[in-house]
């Protein structure tokens, strides 16, 4: 009977006669080679970081820049369309500005008051008329403007005429020549389209 040699022995059993195989050491980069690899990686990463920063700053600038505006001039006595409603000036007058306490009266300014008749076409337009973000300003022909506030009498309803009063303090000598500009809220502007506004002639 032939006895099996070492080659046919149990593979699970370790042979103490064989030398142990040391683990393969990972090749190490020399300091100079490591610096070269790091420089190459940084060179490849830097353009990507610059592009990300540029895109982020571009988005920030676009958000903060004044959006393009489409101004529709409304002649005296005519009606303009804005935010799904019809707007018309029905009254205009200049009054003495409110005085507070003992502060001396300023004779160089006056309070300009313009009353608008507004007819919203639907419920969304009725809600938009009195919403936050509608901008009212009085403007002259040289591009100067004075801020104003608008207040609706009651709650605007679809299909019904509502009265909205706009007031602002302006130079007394210019009050009769100032146009009223009504600008839709910036949030209502659709991407790629200008922000609509109406400019009512004095």
Contact 186, 194 (CB under 8 A): no
In whole angstroms, give the CA distance from residue 139 to residue 179.
5
Q: What is the mean pLDDT of residues 144-160?
A: 90
pTM: 0.62
Backbone angles phi, psi at 185, to 5 degrees: -60, 145
Which percentage of the chain shows pLDDT scores above 70? 72
Strands ordered across the beta sheet of 109-120: 69-74, 195-200, 179-183, 135-139, 145-152, 162-171, 109-120, 85-95, 80-82
Instruction: Pick the closest to residue 81 from 122, 113, 114, 119 (CA basis).
Output: 119
In whole angstroms, give the CA distance from residue 123 to residue 157.
7
Contact 94, 131 (CB under 8 A): no
Q: Tell me the pLDDT band of 56, cut-offs 50, 70 and 90.
A: low
Which residues face 116 on adjacent strands? 89, 164
Of the ranges 2-11, 38-47, 163-172, the best mean pLDDT one: 163-172
pLDDT of residue 65: 55
Which tens digits make up the pLDDT trace of 70-102? 899 999 889 999 999 999 999 999 887 766 555
Tokens describing residue 65 = 């820049």
């Amino acid at each position: 009977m032939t006895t099996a040699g070492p080659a046919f022995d149990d593979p699970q059993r370790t042979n103490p006669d064989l030398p142990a195989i040391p683990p393969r050491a990972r090749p190490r980069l020399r300091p100079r080679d490591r610096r070269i690899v790091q420089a190459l990686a940084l060179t490849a990463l830097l353009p990507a970081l610059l592009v990300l920063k540029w895109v982020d700053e571009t988005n920030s600038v676009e958000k903060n820049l004044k959006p393009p505006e489409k101004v529709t001039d409304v002649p005296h006595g005519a009606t303009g369309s804005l935010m799904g409603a019809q707007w018309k000036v029905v009254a205009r007058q200049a009054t003495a500005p409110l005085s507070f306490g003992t502060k001396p009266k300023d004779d160089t300014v006056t309070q300009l008051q313009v009353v608008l008749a507004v007819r919203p076409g639907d419920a969304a337009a009725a809600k938009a008329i009195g919403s936050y973000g509608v901008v009212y300003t009085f403007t002259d022909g040289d591009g100067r403007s004075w801020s104003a506030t608008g207040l609706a009498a009651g709650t605007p309803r679809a299909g019904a005429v509502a009265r909205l009063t706009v007031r602002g303090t302006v130079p007394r000598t210019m009050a009769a020549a100032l146009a009223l500009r009504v600008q839709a809220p910036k949030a209502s502007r659709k991407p790629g389209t200008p922000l609509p506004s109406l400019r009512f002639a004095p």
